[in-house]
Structure 1
Amino acid sequence: MTRWGITLPLTGVPLPAHRELVERLPDLGYTDVWTAETAGSDAFTPLALASQWSSRLRLGTAVAPVFTRGPALLAMTASALADCAPGRFALGIGASSPGVVRDWNGLEHTQPYGRTRDTLRFLRSAFTGRQVTAQYPTFSVRGFRLDRPPATPPPVLLAALRPGMLRLAAAEADGAITNWLAPHDVPKVRAEVGEGTELVAPVFVCVTEDAREARRLGRMMISSYLTVPAYRAFQDWLGRTEPLAAMHRAWDAGERWRAVMAVPDEAVDELIVHGSAEECRARIRAYAEHGLDTPVIALLPSEGGDPVAQVEALAPGLD
């Protein structure tokens, strides 16, 4: 079964004002609510609220960074969410980026693969309720035990962009969360995780028939995100080295505005879903047809658009 998720909170909508929408999401055909954690809401508070507004939605973090919370704190926070939504919470973890971890939180961003792997292994042990004393390659834990271990340990998914992390997700986690890909990119990612591993990905959607406006927003996002080294390497692996080369040259030269303008329309149209609500639904379904288990709509603001109405218009139940 293909799931159909939405990323909350919506831009410009206060957290408490989401209640009515969350209550109606299952009837619209949505199966999941996921959160991001960059510079807006944290990954857990919106899900705690949503857990009390609907008992029919799976809730997930996409993703909680492994550097900005200590291993024990991450285990405690995840356990609290699992208590709020027994059997309905999925913990997505990832390395995040140097900008978020180092520049915004004053922490070292070293050995991201190792730190993610070790956090996954620690969480597996911690969720059992047993005391954990272990020396992991990237950190150590001595004498930690959850006072309230989850009755149903949440599945743990890994944010993964390239073969190494994708294979780790397939081997040790319960799924992989990838990002910034087009429908035709999905089979290459799927090949690394195999058919038995859940594959989740945000799908950036701008509901507008003004292609110029959608591309303007898309160029700004692409130049901001895909110049981050991990995302740049991912796009190279997917085959976009040449289409994004001019953007990278301008960015590396410190010419930010030129970098934005250097993003070609074709790259925007591949990575950002835009058009009428009907056209957007069809493109989201294309991700599933190419092997994505759980497309998660990340709704982008459009001029004059009502985000709640757009969520309703993108509902799979309308097809």
Structure 2
Amino acid sequence: MATEEQLEAAARWGRVGVGLAAPGTSADVWRRELARLEDLAYGSAWINEGIGRGETFSQLGLLLAATRRLVMGTGIANIWARQAPVMQAGAETLAAAFPGRLALGLGVSARVLVEASGLSYGRPLEEMAGYLDRMDASRGLAITPAVPFPRLLAALGPKMLELARDRADGAYPHSMPFENTVLARTALGPDKLLVVGVAVFLDDDVDRARSLAAQSSLFKIPSSPYLANLRRLGYTDDDFAPEPSARVIDAMFACGRAEAIAARVGEHLKAGADHVVLQPMGADLTTLVDQLEAISGHLPA
């Protein structure tokens, strides 16, 4: 169960956060755009980590130091990028320096990406369970934060959700329909945190937005865990080939005008999410924050 302090911290996040993927962005641009975000109706900002394409704790340190109130989280901190005691120590250090402002999301990534970096993928559920064991064994060796950070698992399927329920403070599924949010809440129970990520394709022309969404890399990953989970939810090969159907695109992503994006947030909150993270897809950080500013005024209170 998440601790009382963690639940209180999560309550301060509000209902909606943002996901930001902007590789190659300078520190000065990050500082400028995060200052803009702090004036908007978002409570958190989340980043992801790919091996060799950024290092999550140095990035989190920059973002936390550049902001006053935003919670900073990892959509995933990649468990293959560092040993478990190092992950625990890095999170404890930042949580102690910025009380109540860190959320650590852990993920196993995808086999093809891990093996491309020269590592052995193993069995994801067993690898994650063992990694959590080693994190727990090193807890408090670096420093003990006054406010413990919540530990979330990037869980899509039922077994990883069970592990999130039993060994973490909650889960952070991404790019899934609201039906999956209902199932995730049921699997986790009422006392765990459920953060839901939504990829956003903002465009006044919904067909153009869907066309962009259809190019998502999630459809191209060999043995994609996203497609496997969608099949568990009742989607079929007809929804994925020869091209992703409008049905599956609308289920996975939020496409169209700002009002439609805000409506998708409401669907996930009603389905049981505690916090919804909107991740606009675009070329540069300034464009992403422009989109989030356009959406901000339409979000549910």
What is the TM-score of this pair, normalised by structure 1? 0.80
| Per-residue deviation, 1:21 | 3.0
Asked whether 1:232 is paired with 2:245, we answer no
Contact 2:205–2:257, Cα closer than 8 Å, also in 1: no
| 1:1-319 to 2 correspondences below 5 Å | 3-10=15-22, 13-38=25-50, 40-103=53-116, 105-129=117-141, 146=142, 148-221=143-216, 222-225=218-221, 227-244=222-239, 247=241, 259=242, 262-301=243-282, 306-315=287-296
Name the CA shift for 1:302/1:9 in 2 (closer, same or farther; >3 Å).
Answer: closer
Q: Distance in 1 between matches of 2:135 and 2:24?
A: 34
Q: Distance in 2 between matches of 1:9 and 1:85?
A: 22
Q: Distance in 2 between matches of 1:51 and 1:111?
A: 34
- Secondary structure at the counterpart of residue 33 of structure 2: helix
Any unmatched runs of 5+ in structure 1? 130-145, 248-258
Q: Distance in 2 between matches of 1:5 and 1:192?
A: 23
Name the CA shift for 1:308/1:230 in 2 (closer, same or farther; >3 Å).
Answer: closer
- Secondary structure at the counterpart of residue 247 of structure 2: helix
Q: Distance in 1 between matches of 2:91 and 2:39?
A: 27
Any unmatched runs of 5+ in structure 2? 1-10
Contact 2:18–2:44, Cα closer than 8 Å, also in 1: yes
Which residue number corresponds to residue 138 of structure 1?
Answer: none
Q: Distance in 2 between matches of 1:101 and 1:231?
A: 16
2:108 is aligned with what amino acid? Answer: A
Name the CA shift for 1:65/1:307 in 2 (closer, same or farther; >3 Å).
Answer: closer
Contact 1:90–1:156, Cα closer than 8 Å, also in 2: yes
Contact 2:37–2:289, Cα closer than 8 Å, also in 1: no
Q: Which moved more, 1:107-116 or 1:49-58?
A: 49-58
Q: Which moved more, 1:35-44 or 1:49-58?
A: 35-44
Contact 1:204–1:299, Cα closer than 8 Å, also in 2: yes
- Secondary structure at the counterpart of residue 160 of structure 1: coil
For residues 149-172 of structure 1, what are the alpha-carbon distances to aligned partners after superposition, in whole Å with 9 as ceiling and x for unaligned?
545442211111111110111122
For residues 35-70 of structure 1, what are the alpha-carbon distances to aligned partners after superposition, in whole Å with 9 as ceiling and x for unaligned?
111374333333211211223111111101212211
Name the CA shift for 1:196/1:91 in 2 (closer, same or farther; >3 Å).
Answer: same
Q: Distance in 2 between matches of 1:228 and 1:297?
A: 25
- Secondary structure at the counterpart of residue 140 of structure 2: coil
| Per-residue deviation, 1:102 | 0.9
Q: Distance in 1 between matches of 2:125 and 2:102?
A: 24
Q: Distance in 1 between matches of 2:253 and 2:299?
A: 21
Q: Which moved more, 1:35-44 or 1:267-276?
A: 35-44
For residues 118-177 of structure 1, what are the alpha-carbon distances to aligned partners after superposition, in whole Å with 9 as ceiling and x for unaligned?
222222232222xxxxxxxxxxxxxxxx3x454544221111111111011112211111
For residues 282-316 of structure 1, what are the alpha-carbon distances to aligned partners after superposition, in whole Å with 9 as ceiling and x for unaligned?
2222211211111111111289x932221111225
| Per-residue deviation, 1:29 | 1.6
Contact 2:162–2:188, Cα closer than 8 Å, also in 1: yes
- Secondary structure at the counterpart of residue 28 of structure 1: coil
CA RMSD of aligned residues (A): 2.5
- Secondary structure at the counterpart of residue 128 of structure 2: helix
Q: Distance in 2 between matches of 1:265 and 1:101?
A: 30
- Percentage identity across paired residues of the two chains: 29
Contact 1:206–1:302, Cα closer than 8 Å, also in 2: no
Name the larger-Rg structure: 1
- Secondary structure at the counterpart of residue 80 of structure 1: helix
| Per-residue deviation, 1:77 | 2.4
Q: Distance in 2 between matches of 1:213 and 1:234?
A: 26
